[in-house]
Chains A and B, each alone.
Chain A
Amino acid sequence: MKLAGLKSVDGAHEESIWAAAWAPAADHRPTALLLTGALDETVRAWRPDDLAAASPPARGHALGVLSLAAHPAGVIAAAVSLDSYIRVFDVDSGASVATLDAPPSEVWGVQFHPKGVALAAAGGGSGSVKLWDTEKWQPIASLPVPRPEGARPDKTGSGKFVLSVAWSPDGKLLACGSMDGTIAVYDAVRMKFLHHLEGHHMPVRSMVFSPVDPHVLFTGCDDSHIHIYDAKEKGLIGAMSGHASWVLSIDVSPDGMAVATGSSDRTVRLWDINARASVQTMSNHSDQVWAVAFRPPGGEGVRAGRLASASDDKSISLYDYS
């Protein structure tokens, strides 16, 4: 289990890069594509092995791209920008497919259902998760985050701010993380709130379910720790520490053996899940790392694992994971 730097593109965007996602290989395109979104209001696509630009940048993501998610079929992707529009676009042509919003609240992280039937978005200040269907792009549901039993007095008084969202690989569970550190878990089939997961006390910016254990959830938090939860049985089953600052992004390898994290301490770390320990630290970025993403399985050259990271220093890096 290790990472080896393959390539780094400095100045990949004109401004800080905030989001990265892999669009999986599709019928018409044999390889996966790396998408990155940045403060310079563009989304760019990169080839998977040499990081050559795959298409001209897609503009119009006003005020900067906050989060990116690719549809599992690899044809379309969704980008959220700071003006709170979700723009769904065709990965190859960049053509707009749909524009979604849920005024007046903000939209933060987005994630497609593992089967691609729905799009979930963290609803920011509205304190809820919003769901759209991916056929007609109509809103399906809005799942509010209930206050925990005997809620703590909220200082801002404006409720929760929902930052991140994740689907379990079997599509049965949906989790969302908020700025006060609570994580809400929903039954995604019946659209019902199940319970809160406790343990974090600062903003949970990123979360991902294990691809091998559909109810194991990994979360990265501003308290600089990574937690492992049993999301179904409501238990904290592991914690990993090592970052010196906020953990901004987290992704799990397709084999389910390792997680990678990007942090404010300007490093990317690789963690062994079984040993509950950090096995490698990459410090090639010179500013905080906002996104890490493992390439999904499928398409040509699937045997080689790939990890991409994007940072405030305007660069993206590609690593070989083996």
Chain B
Amino acid sequence: MSAPTAKQGAGEEEAERLLAAAKLNPNDGGPFRALGHHYARAGDAQRAARCYQRAVALDPDDAEAGEALCDLLDVDGKESLELAVCKESAGKSPRAFWAFRRLGYLQVHQNKWSEAIQSLQHSIRGYPTCADLWEALGLAYHRLGMFTASVKSYGRAIELDSSRVFALIESGNIQLMLGYFRKGVEQFRLALELAPRNHSAYFGLASALLAWSRHCVATGAFTWAANLLKEASEAAKACSSLTGNLSCVWKLHADTQLALARCFPWEHGDIKWGMDEHTFKASVLEWRNTCLSAANGAKLSYQRALHLTPWEANIHIDTAVCLDLICTMEENNSVDPIIWELPEKISLGGLMLEPVNKDFWVTLGSVSSNQALKQHSLIRALHLDMSLSEAWAYLGKIYRQSGHKQLARQAFDRARSIDPSLALPWAGMSAEDHNQYGAGAVNESYESCLRAVQILPLPEFQIGLGTIAARSGELLSPQVLMAVRQAVQRAPHYPESHNINGLVAEVRSDFQSAITSYQQAKFALDMMCRSKLDNRYPFVDVSLNLARSLCKAGLATDAARECEELKTKGLLNVDGLQIYAFALWKLGRHDEALSVSRNLAENLPSMKQESATGALGFICTLAYNITGKDSAALVIHTLPGQPSYNRELKFIISALDALQPNKRFQLPQLSTPPRLTSYEVMSEVHSNIALGKAIGGESNSCLGVEGGLSYLKKVLHMYPDCSLVRNHLGSLLLSGGDWTASHKAVRVTSLSHGHTSNRGLRSPHQIQACATVSCYATCTSYPKFSFPTCEDQYLSQYNALCNLQRLVHQEPWNQDARYLLVLAIFQKAREEKYPKHISTILKRLILQVLSSRSNSEEHKIVLYEKYLLLLLSSEISLQSDDHANCIAQATDALRVTSPSADAFFAHLQLCRAYVVRGDLSNSRKEYMKCLQNGTNTEIGWVMLKQLESLCSLNPGSDEIEINLKECIERKGSNPSKWASLFNLACAQSSMRVEDFASAEKALAQACAEKDADSCILFLNGALNMEIAWRYAAPQFINRAASSLRKAQQKSQATVPIVSLLLAQAEGSLGSKTKWEKNLRLEWFTWPPELRPAELYFQMHLLASQSTASGAPQQKQHQLLPETMQSPGAWLLRAIHQNPSCSRYWKALEQVVYV
């Protein structure tokens, strides 16, 4: 008992002390606040309030007193007083943040949003980390419709305190309103984690998912949408279990179910090839049942909602729409017009509640099955609002169904102009256009339908789009593909969707899928045929499609069976006959195929022009394939002549023409003026004629290139920019024996960019690559490794290698491109003397090409390429001194050779390898094999000749020469060129054994040939000089000089050392001016960075000569190279370059001492 009294006493003491303190300093708020606390504790609210009031009045920033005062007022319910206190304090001091905070909360409470925002913003400056303030601010913004600011404020609140369920839900709602479903869903999910029994979070989640799924449906991601909807439906269900008496929750659940029923896709992903009828039907039925059960679930939920709030008219309407969907799915249309249908009744219920709602009238019009009622209700809707586009659109649909074309078109037009983002009028217009003829109408129809599908992906629209696309040739368009695929997902019970899906797959040459689709179309037809009787025509179409796809996929047996089935039913039409004949031919039943084609031929006159020529072409080709060219020609002659052949037929005729050199058709059609026929066709036809000339020229195996060439030149003159003709010309040039063909071919063909045209005998890239490797001379553009010896240096102007690399980059799958690249790089490696890094790259590339070719079919060309690649690989090994690998690869190459390929070169390679290894007996063996095998390539013989002496064989026999001559005769190539090369080989062999006399003889012969090569002349000159020097025979110097002079003229002074040698020769002959002139020429043949020491030395000599002679022409000296430096400087440079040469030092000694 004593303790409380003591406490009370102490309290009173404290109060007295505080009172005293307050009296002492009545302007200090502190004691009043403390006093206020004291009274508050004691339960004397009135006194406490007065004290607090005093404290706050003295110091408006006193948050403690202010809060306490407001709390007291709040408890008493004196809201206006509280507000006044806060306002007063806030007015007194801007730092009274507590007052602003209170004020803000109070204003939020009183729904004074804009004022609240100001107060809250101010108070946030004082309490920046108070989550409540941010939340309140967010709410205020939200209510004012400032959504972005609101989301930011809520976000800050959540950031400060992650357990803010209210902020999460509200910001989720705003995100949803702004259309950011994904973020909304995220927020609601977070809220649900914090408060798992919060029904508004569930509601928000469900509606967010529903909105998201609608977005997905609009883009066509149905599986995705269905997954979202399932989740949404679960959320709505959870919400309804929490609060079962809210009508809007049930409506939401119903909405999700209805959306699911509408978008649930048919899963056909795991369809196996040859899926049987039963599985297909079962899966379609299962799909339908899923949809139906979802729709029924929607119906039940709508019913509950209706039960809870029967006065809500729009739930009536929703129920009516749902019932309508169920009716169409169950397909139990009652035919009695007098009985009101359920959907009609329910929507009338809605209309009873709100008779002036125009949308309700439209709904009634769309769910009703009674034409008169439909029309009436739509017109009622239009009475209410003339610009109601939906009503116009439905009206158009009704008119179209009842055959009023003009009215329908007007209605659709009006609907479309009122609201262009409505799908139905576009679809309606498309259907109207589709029925008209002409390309313009079809295009218009396609565009309209595409628009409709893009606005609203309904399966009916999508099937329509597919049908129009099939007619207008737009089946490859991805929009059509997408639409048709979606149509299959959404309407698997329509045979049309499967059929068009098949067409789309077929046009993409995916025949297996096409076959599957057509089969499904047949199954679907079968399912439908119970309700409809006449399905013969669609059945024929689908079967024909199926047969055609089977043919294309190579399943001729099945195709023939399909056709026979149709035949037994008597439904085989002209197209069917063609497919049947083709399938029979593929099966090897030639006689039957021919009889079918005869059958087809009888039908020709009754056919349309276009299809008739097509069929004629087919018959020709078939006849050619079965019985050869003669009967095909007969077909053309006997069948009724068409006034104008179409392009395919012209092509066939010209091809036949080319194959029969003896019996030419002399078709007048081919010589019609070019302007009458299309450009492309004529170039093809002309190419064929040129080939025909080439083939027909001679009877032996070699092509008569000349005839074809001259014809093609004329054609090119007519069609200068036709790449096909150019390619043909290039490839013919290359196959001819022309020495400079490689250069001409490159100039004649043009590389196209982007789209390479692979038509013609060879692609332009191929021609270029062939030209690169086929020029016998080195055409290197970089003189570090070797000097270009090619007399016409066309190739150096452009970089074939880079072009090939570009080609490989563009078409990485193209193994031919890779092969060509290997050849070009090999050429480069050869020119650069097989540097190590290029050899490594080459080996890798060859390995790649070989490995990718290993699993391809054993085609003749492929085998040849493989053979060549192995030889290249062997050569690289040889050059990098890897003899074992070299021999192994050459032996491999021998193994791949087919009878037609040339085994000669593999033996030659082996022979070379053995020679390098020093294995004499083996190399002789290979040499003999080479002789036995023989070759049709001139260079082979020349190379063999080179090897002859290396194998230590008697060079006496002239077997090789005879063979070479035969070879030249056979191919009609340039004999003088080859003779000089052969002599060169002979000379090389002689020189190797230091038999200079015979070498000289051979070289002299080589030079004597017409148009001898500069290199040979050069070699001859050098040899003569050597002989003159060795045997001190001055008469050879004359010969040397003349050869060298010719060489200099031929090479146009680009080959180095020629002029130097010539200078020496001329010097020895005593002509000093010629010596000077040639030395100067020599100076310019070298690229600056490569000039050797000897050249500097020679310049030194030249310079000292001219200074010794007193430099008569001062003016011209500026132009002469030797005057660029003093003689001494030349000498020093020479010594600097090559300090090991004693001659230079001696000369230096002379200069120094003299």
B855 and A158 form a contact (CB under 8 A): yes
Partner of B481, one of A108, A150, A236, A312: A236
- Residues of B near A148 (CB, < 8 A) are 512
- Which of A138-146, A185-193, A225-233, A295-303 lies on the face that meets chain B? A225-233
- Write the nearest CB–CB distance from A272 to chain B, whole angstroms: 13
- Residues of B near A181 (CB, < 8 A) are 508
Interface residues on chain A, number (Cβ under 8 Å): 58
Q: Which of A232-280 contact B (CB under 8 A)?
A: 233-239, 241, 245-246, 264-265, 276
Known interface pairs A82-B805, A152-B512, A158-B855; A238-B220 also in contact (CB < 8 Å): yes
Bound Cα distance A212, B183 (Å): 11
Query: Does A97 reach chain B (CB closer than 8 Å)?
Result: no
- Residues of B near A287 (CB, < 8 A) are 753
Query: Does B83 reach chain A (CB closer than 8 Å)?
Result: no
- Which of A21-29, A44-52, A58-66, A112-120 lies on the face that meets chain B? A58-66
- Which of B155-163, B842-850, B889-897 lies on the face that meets chain A? B842-850
Bound Cα distance A18, B806 (Å): 9
Residue of B753, B755, B805, B813 ringed by the most chain A CB atoms within 10 A: B813
Query: Does A72 reach chain B (CB closer than 8 Å)?
Result: no
Query: Does A151 reach chain B (CB closer than 8 Å)?
Result: yes
Query: Does B479 reach chain A (CB closer than 8 Å)?
Result: yes
- Which of A1-9, A87-95, A98-106, A165-173 lies on the face that meets chain B? A98-106
A203 and B272 form a contact (CB under 8 A): no
Known interface pairs A157-B855, A223-B476, A225-B478; A237-B813 also in contact (CB < 8 Å): no
B805 and A63 form a contact (CB under 8 A): yes
Bound Cα distance A15, B801 (Å): 12
- Write the nearest CB–CB distance from B1064 to chain A, whole angstroms: 42
- Residues of A near B857 (CB, < 8 A) are 157
Query: Does B809 reach chain A (CB closer than 8 Å)?
Result: yes
- Residues of B near A265 (CB, < 8 A) are 754
Render B800-841 as a binary contact track against A, CB cut-off 8 A, 1 for contact.
001001101100110100000000000000000000010001
- Write the nearest CB–CB distance from A273 to chain B, whole angstroms: 10
Bound Cα distance A231, B808 (Å): 30
Partner of B221, one of A153, A163, A237, A241: A237
B481 and A239 form a contact (CB under 8 A): yes
Bound Cα distance A82, B822 (Å): 12
- Residues of A near B808 (CB, < 8 A) are 82
Query: Does B856 reach chain A (CB closer than 8 Å)?
Result: yes
Query: Does A179 reach chain B (CB closer than 8 Å)?
Result: yes
Known interface pairs A63-B841, A104-B847, A237-B221; A153-B273 also in contact (CB < 8 Å): no
**Nearest residue in B to A276 (C-beta to C-beta)?**
B454
A105 and B510 form a contact (CB under 8 A): no
- Residues of B near A238 (CB, < 8 A) are 219-220, 482
- Residues of B near A223 (CB, < 8 A) are 476, 478
- Residues of A near B812 (CB, < 8 A) are 66, 106, 108, 124, 161, 163, 179
- Write the nearest CB–CB distance from A139 to chain B, whole angstroms: 18
Partner of A105, one of B512, B806, B848: B848
Q: Interface majority SS on A: helix, strand, loop or mixed?
A: loop
Partner of A239, one of B482, B516, B806, B844: B482
- Residues of A near B164 (CB, < 8 A) are none
- Residues of B near A198 (CB, < 8 A) are 485, 510, 513
Bound Cα distance A103, B265 (Å): 44
Known interface pairs A18-B809, A199-B478, A199-B481; A230-B221 also in contact (CB < 8 Å): yes
**Nearest residue in A to B454 (C-beta to C-beta)?**
A276
**Nearest residue in A to B852 (C-beta to C-beta)?**
A125
Partner of B273, one of A84, A149, A312: A149
- Write the nearest CB–CB distance from B870 to chain A, whole angstroms: 15
Interface residues on chain B, number (Cβ under 8 Å): 54
A233 and B806 form a contact (CB under 8 A): no
- Write the nearest CB–CB distance from A205 to chain B, whole angstroms: 9
Query: Does A288 reach chain B (CB closer than 8 Å)?
Result: yes
**Nearest residue in B to A152 (C-beta to C-beta)?**
B510
- Residues of B near A151 (CB, < 8 A) are 512
**Nearest residue in A to B806 (C-beta to C-beta)?**
A16
A15 and B844 form a contact (CB under 8 A): no
Query: Does B1142 reach chain A (CB closer than 8 Å)?
Result: no
Residue of A84, A201, A276 ringed by the most chain B CB atoms within 10 A: A201
- Residues of A near B272 (CB, < 8 A) are 149
Render A172-213 as a binary contact track against B, CB cut-off 8 A, 1 for contact.
000000010100000000000001001101010000000010
B754 and A245 form a contact (CB under 8 A): yes
Partner of B815, one of A15, A105, A158, A288: A158
Known interface pairs A62-B837, A156-B815, A157-B857; A233-B508 also in contact (CB < 8 Å): no
Known interface pairs A82-B805, A104-B848; A241-B856 also in contact (CB < 8 Å): no
Bound Cα distance A287, B751 (Å): 14
Q: Which of B928-966 contact A (CB under 8 A)?
A: none
- Write the nearest CB–CB distance from A288 to chain B, whole angstroms: 6
Query: Does A159 reach chain B (CB closer than 8 Å)?
Result: yes
Query: Does B666 reach chain A (CB closer than 8 Å)?
Result: no
Query: Does A10 reach chain B (CB closer than 8 Å)?
Result: no
- Residues of B near A78 (CB, < 8 A) are none
- Residues of A near B264 (CB, < 8 A) are none
Partner of A158, one of B223, B477, B479, B852: B852
- Write the nearest CB–CB distance from B772 to chain A, whole angstroms: 16
- Write the nearest CB–CB distance from A40 to chain B, whole angstroms: 9
Query: Does B224 reach chain A (CB closer than 8 Å)?
Result: yes
- Write the nearest CB–CB distance from A80 to chain B, whole angstroms: 11
Bound Cα distance A159, B227 (Å): 36
Bound Cα distance A199, B554 (Å): 23
Query: Does B1144 reach chain A (CB closer than 8 Å)?
Result: no
Bound Cα distance A158, B512 (Å): 19
Query: Given A234-B223, A276-B454, 4 other A-B contacts at CB below 8 A?
Result: A63-B805, A148-B512, A150-B273, A195-B269
Would you mind naming 5 contact pairs between A and B with Cβ atoms under 8 Å apart? A39-B809, A125-B851, A156-B813, A223-B478, A241-B479
Q: Which 5 A-B pairs give the minimum distances between C-beta atoms?
A: A239-B478, A150-B512, A161-B813, A150-B273, A104-B851
Binding site for A on B (CB under 8 A): 182, 216, 219-224, 227, 269, 271-273, 454, 476-479, 481-482, 485, 508-513, 516, 553-554, 753-755, 802, 805-806, 808-809, 812-813, 815, 837, 841, 844-845, 847-848, 850-853, 855-857
